[in-house]
């Protein structure tokens, strides 16, 4: 197993545009098919957020990469959203989208799908405008530091975290994965919520020239890690990659969705 430094080295050639093309267009994001993995992820997030318990002042997305879909349901219940990534190139991509610069990735089908799930009759453009207004900052993160957001965000100060495909994709070992989860959960207030999506039994993924090693985790490993980090699992579900979702850009076998809540006493 490689070290944290080796993981960081491998991310130097991460290509956000190739990553988006590999994962965020059909067939993986085919909104005409409810079986597509993206519809599943957006439904899980929508259903958890629609329960009305997940709310507060600040929502932080850990390891946003160049994507915003993971926030489409949750941001509605917070006054401020902070997006984060380890790589400047990804933070740049997000800032370009926030500023609506020419040539940015088109997330409109995602907004349309979530507007339909919410059933409020809101136009996707209106929702997009509100998300852009709600994101206050795009800042660096390193999940391997005890304070992953440095001095910008104090530990124990956050109401809710979202994270998708980050912890297992940047941890060289199970020990590092546990520690990273502990670091991330440390940002939450007691009883803060964590909406976590990740890959099951994946060993690598591609993003242009980059071939990123992933820690292959099982459902059981994820649940044990949450318990070790003093989090209570409120909901847990999995999706098995169907043959049509296997497009040769990784070896992921499934996806997990967890809604967890930090222990009151921690
Ligand atoms: N959240 C996005 C998604 O759902 O597609 C991107 C996930 S991508 C597989 C993994 C992300 O982790 C990349 O954006 C990468 O820059 C980021 N990353 C790499 N090393 C990291 C670290 N030490 N701490 C936090 N994030 C890191």
* Dihedral Cα 44, 48, 50, 52, nearest 10 deg: -170
CA-based nearest residue to 138, from 212, 87, 102, 177: 87
Judging by beta carbons within 10 Å of its beta carbon (0-12, 13-18, 19+), is residue 100 exposed, middle or buried?
A: exposed
Q: Is any ligand 1 atom within 6 A of the Cβ of residue 144?
A: yes
Measured in Å, residue 90 CA sits from the centre of ligand 1 at 9
Q: Is any ligand 1 atom within 6 A of the Cβ of residue 168?
A: no
Measured in Å, residue 50 CA sits from the centre of ligand 1 at 26
Q: Whose CA is nearest to atom 9 of ligand 1?
A: 165
Q: Is any ligand 1 atom within 6 A of the Cβ of residue 85?
A: yes
**Global pTM value:** 0.97
Please list the pLDDT of the chain residue by residue as tens digits (266 residues): 469 999 999 999 999 999 999 999 999 999 999 999 999 999 999 999 999 999 999 999 999 999 999 999 999 999 999 999 999 999 999 999 999 999 999 999 999 999 999 999 999 999 999 999 999 999 999 999 999 999 989 999 999 999 999 999 999 999 999 999 999 999 999 999 999 999 999 999 999 999 999 999 999 999 999 999 999 999 999 999 999 989 999 999 999 999 999 999 74
């Amino acid at each position: 197993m490689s070290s944290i430094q080796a993981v960081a080295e491998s991310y130097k050639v991460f290509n956000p545009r190739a990553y988006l093309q590999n994962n965020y267009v059909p067939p993986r994001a085919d909104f005409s098919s409810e079986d597509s993995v993206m519809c599943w992820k957006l439904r899980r997030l929508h259903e958890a957020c629609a329960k009305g318990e997940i709310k507060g002042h600040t929502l932080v997305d850990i390891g946003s990469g160049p994507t915003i879909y993971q926030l489409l349901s949750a941001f509605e219940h917070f006054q401020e959203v902070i997006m984060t990534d380890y790589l400047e190139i990804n933070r740049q991509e997000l800032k370009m989208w926030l500023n609506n610069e020419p040539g940015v990735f088109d997330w409109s089908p995602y907004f349309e799908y979530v507007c339909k799930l919410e059933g409020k009759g809101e136009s996707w453009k209106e929702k997009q405008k509100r998300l852009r207004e709600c994101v206050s900052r795009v800042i660096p993160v390193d999940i391997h530091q005890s304070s992953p957001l440095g001095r910008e965000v104090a530990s124990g100060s956050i109401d809710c975290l979202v994270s998708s495909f980050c912890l297992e994709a940047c941890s060289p070992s199970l020990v590092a994965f546990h520690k990273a989860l502990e670091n991330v959960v440390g940002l939450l207030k007691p009883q803060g919520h964590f909406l976590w999506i990740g890959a099951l039994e994946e060993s690598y993924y591609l993003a242009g020239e980059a071939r990123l090693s992933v820690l292959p985790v099982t459902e059981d490993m994820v649940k044990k890690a949450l318990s070790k980090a003093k989090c209570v699992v409120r909901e847990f579900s999995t999706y098995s990659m169907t043959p049509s979702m296997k497009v040769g850009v990784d070896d992921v076998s499934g996806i997990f969705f967890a809604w967890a809540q930090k222990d009151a006493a921690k």
